[in-house]
Structure 1
Amino acid sequence: MIQRNSLLDILLKVVLYGYGTLLIWEWLQPVNQLTDTDNMGVFIVFVCLSLLSYFLQVHWVVRIMILVGYIILSIQYLYSQFSLFDLAWIGELISDMKMNITRMVEADWMLLTNSFRTLLFFILIWLISYLIHYWVAVRRNLFLFFLLTIVFLAVLDTFTPYDADGPIIRVVIIGFAVLGLLAFFRLFEQEKLSVSIRGLRNWLMPLTIMVLFSGTIGFAAPKLKPQWPDPVPFITSYSNKSTGDSNKAGSKRVGYGENDSQLGGSISDDHAVVFYADAPTRHYWKVENKYYYTGKGWTRLDYPGELTEYDNDRDMVNLTGTELPGMKLQELKTTVKMEQFYNHVPYPTPSILKRVSAEGADQYIFNDSTNLLTAQSNSWGRLKLTDYEVNYYLTTFDRNYLKKVTSANDVPKDIIGIYTQLPRNLPERIRNLALEITSDQDNWYDKAKAIENYFDGPKFVYDKQDIPYPEEQQDYVDQFLFETLRGYCDNFSTAMVVLLRSLDIPTRWAKGYSDGVATIKNGESVYMITNNNAHSWVEVYFPEVGWVPFEPTKGFNNTNQFYDASLNTNSNANDHDTAVTTQEKKEATQSDKKTLPEIDKPNQSTSSKLDGVYWKNVLQNTAIGLAGVTIFVFLLYQSRRKWLPYVFITRYKGKNGTDTFTSAYHVLLKQLNRAGVPRPEGQTLREYAVYVDRVYHMANNNMQQMTKEYERIIYRGDQENQAWRQYQELWENLIKETTS
């Protein structure tokens, strides 16, 4: 018989704990390869330390102190700017925890700091280590974790660049060997046999031969081609269909959509990532313009626009503008990694595009009316890009030059005809309000700024909830300006366009994405743009300059696109349009000081850096989700004494027969053990039944009656089909008592 403290029993635990460590290591490997996360050794050491404390049966208080201390010191080592002996890092850690807990309560998952995500990752590893300990020390069965590891690696191999062929082979071969060894020990323990070295050798020899033979056959046998279609394109297309319907009437989720004919209604947040951009500075991302206002929204009518075609990786001439007096150009390059695949190509604005390069694209089609840029393939037609590079000239405008424009004398007639259009039934009070706001201004720039600043007043509120649709005979802008005074970017931008057009200033409605959230990597910014960054703004036409963007939405900043040539500066702190945040000023200063990359030399590290940021974000959020699920499962398991009896009551209801009775009796014994009323070793069932009835004050001696019937069935072999029906009520009353 195997003794608990025998050498072979210890050997079995060493093997199982070792294999558990290997499985956790296989879970950590993708983090190291798919992201730019360093110091993976910190997490590996934590796994070993945790499992070692369980193996050595360290007291739980001491174990918690050791592991918590290790986590705190690791976070201090990885993230704190203070030395270990400077106690200021403790205050820094506490402040960081408070801030992140607040963000978790508010469900702002994307704003969690890396230090807090690391803490959650440590907690996840700790929980997994406990499960390994439970499966090893209590259940002596690692099959479930073995199976989960295979599924996890297979999913990563399918949906990510991670190559899991080697890890899967490793886990399967070693796993079969360990499961076979575990079966050997379990068999000898159940049969009460003594284990010898010879017996172990006789078991391991055929096991080893079987594993090696099956592995060899697996490698050598011919392989069928994939029998199922690749699930990734299907999931992607399904996601696109869902996003494409985001602008329909009713409750909507924030995000880019093509249909803007019916504006209004509330929108809910959507943190899904649309693309990552390795951009040297902060700016908006344009998708298209709309020019025909119906009173309810925007459509494309009357003027379809001219299409211009450019070959892939060739310079574009005057595509989104040309260098003119009154503007300053900065030559830049950005790489974009799309995560939601659309037919359109987002590009930086305000800018003059020089070149777009993408693998698989042959041409790019640009619509001069909508400014919509799409990629084309000679083989497949319109192409949905995944990764592309944009060379461009970021544009800033001289406000003094813009202030020279006071009338439409030099504006082409087609611009005036298209971009001053308004509905015939536009309420007159909108025109009167525009005249009132701009009464002190004598040029187009100051009039545009006056209207832009008007929306910054206290009576307007930025809100995405409880936003109504206009009534059937009501104008969308009129409702916003004079009734609701609350809304989001579509309300503010459309209202500014209509106000400017009522003054006969050519204006268009632009849409795309705001600048996103910046993450500093190796001294440079990588921007993450989500569906929450879907945005609309205003562009005003100035003769001899072109289209100039303005930002009327409350809470959003015009991204530093004006300068004062007379002062030889890039911004004027007294103007509202250059009110940028401290972070933006810092980035602008860094951008001016550093040498820009050569635009014709490809940046070899850009794609890998974007991949790293993306997969780090995916795995961090996956870790958070897994931690939440694991905690939930753990708490559910810990509270099983409370809810499990009701599951068995439902299971046995309506059944009959001696098999049901004996099964229910065994379930009751296990539940009593969970409830803290275990059966002492050597005690008979009858003695134990008397003890149970006393503990739960059973007036009818429920346990004694059931035990008497159980012994009659077991020892005499009686087969009474009505046994369960006779004792079911007694059993239910007793098992319910164990939940209190």
Structure 2
Amino acid sequence: MKQSQLLSFLLYVLGFMLILEWLLPLEQITQTSEIHYFVVFVLLSLLLNFLQAPWFISWPLKAAFIFCALFAIFSGEMGLGAWTSQLVDEIRINTVMVFKSVWLDLSPLYRSFLFFLLLWQITYLLRYWLTIKRKVFVFYVMTILYVTLLDTFTEYSGRHAIVRIVIIGFTLLGVLFFKRLYEKEQMEDQFSLLGRWIIPLFLVVCTGVGIGYLSPKAAPIWPDPVPFLESKAESIRNGGVSKIGYGMDDTQLGGPFIHDDRVVFIARTPTSQYWKIETKDVYTGKGWVASSQASAPIADIQYGEVRRLDTVSSSNNPIQEATLDFEISYPHIVRPYGFLSVEKQTEGNGFVRYDSRLDKLHTFTEQHHEERLKSYTITYREAVFSKKALRQTQNLPGGADYTDFQEQYTQLPETLPRRVHTLAEKLTAEHDNWYDKARAIEAYFQTGEFSYDQTNVAVPANDEDYVDQFLFDTQRGYCDNFSTSMVVMLRTLDIPARWVKGYAPGNYKGMSDADNRLYEITNNEAHSWVEVFFPEQGWVPFEPTKGFNNPIEVVNDEHSNSTSSSSSDESVPESEETEQEEQAAEIDENSSSGNEFTLRESGFAEFFMKYWRTIALVLFSIIAGASGLFISRNRWIPRLLIWKYKINKNDTTFAEAYETLLKRLDSFGLKKGPGQTLRNYASVVDDHFGTTDMSQLTERYEKLIYGGEETHTNWEYSKELWENLIKKTIN
């Protein structure tokens, strides 16, 4: 091994030891496991950098290692072919999530993939800092801050890590200083000088660290911030803050809550869903209660028996299954829209009782005792609604049945302030059908006037209305505020609406098999939304809460049967047509469920899902080409400069070419010192290359610049010298 290679190898070893201090705490403070794969990848990357392997060798090797590591960690008992297909699907689906900035729902496999790419970049940057810039102080300071923060705010103990980092860091800084000094002074016998430099340096650093570690320490001047923060959190908990999750009592809404990450159930389903539990129909001014159940029809449903409960517009969709495994079980069924049947997965007989007033399914044993199921499978047809039919609804049909129905689902307290009515009428004045009115109110809550907040949420006083306070005073809250306000505003317009409780789709955890996705639903996903009744379509869900998406699909079928005629005297005005197109685009954009990333999510997502292979190939080609040009820039830039200046034959070109040569030598590593004369710098360059070309070229340059000798043959005579020096910077 050459002297320069030995010094570079030592720098890479010390750099790897610093990166290792970033990786070691991960297994303790996060859910990251199999750290050794990441450590080996860093070793492989640094080794390839040290050997200066070309990119067309190093890139495939790194990519192959990442693939093998991910396969070893996540494949389980799956075969290579099946797992490769799953990997492609995971990357495709999660990439769409990245474009939509849904970071928390990324799968563990995709996060590990991104972490490998991050380490790839870090090792490249470390090579740049160590061998080109020869400055690593910023990275060293960041490492110290990283470990000290983990030691302060997590269970990780950085006591020994700090000692290691100080020793490694000061040794690394000392070796880098030696390398810069050696190259600047052009000293000989590097092995001997390095030994006389590094051994005393290492001893001094170790002695200083040892004395500091063993010496008695004074008590800290500042108090530990962690107990202070914990005490503040405890005081908040004791101040009446609720914990989020599904509850039965909705009579008093409002007030802040804290998060609860406990898993309620795991869902295996082909599509993302809103998980419905029950509805409430009586608004009290403070919250929701259920109306009298005396006249509500009760139906007992056997497990496996098909019973359509909510939508009437999904008969053409294929039957799908969702399997739910509960960590926290309740005596009711959690169901998606388009429910058909439920099949019990545990032993024993029993049945499900449907309460139509609450729109809720209760589970019972054969002895009519409440039962909490740990697992069950639901069959359903994904709900799809006709936009044309929805827009045709302007009122309810006549009849005694609908009279009672209208009264029940447009109920409002007499104390509701009049300004709530006025606002609803103002927002919907331009629309003549229920659907567009509901969409107008839904869109109103997405404006900048309202903020989603879970902590600074007011509780109405005795003389205040919950909805009125939110709409006109605070305009800050969470799902209960938004959904209750929309239901109340719709009811002021005599549109039947009700309040719905359940869970948002949950956190996507990857593919459970070839056809099903895995979702983890925690108490944090407890959610409420709105349902509006349309006689021809049934109860249709709407989502007013800021930051959430409408859980259903609306098919734009308004123009499917229409024909155009150039001779027709009746045409749609351009402004009206544009407005309809904008409304259709807006509805389509919001028509998908919670965290569902499918073809109908958005125009970009649809395009990406359809042409993702082509996009991936094009992006890979662009990135590979750009990276190849960047990595090989020290090879092609000098040749480009030679071609550029070869065709020019005037003295101005010579001056420009000489200044370009100085920049190339600087990027090559031969830096001109502050105050150093050109002649002195030229001698340093000649000593490095073993020539006299730079001194001759500098002498001609000084005559041109300072002596005023403007001969037309100056550049022609100097071109060969300049070209020889440029070629020496090719590496």
Name the TM-score class by shorter chain. Answer: 0.3 to 0.5
TM-score (norm 1): 0.47
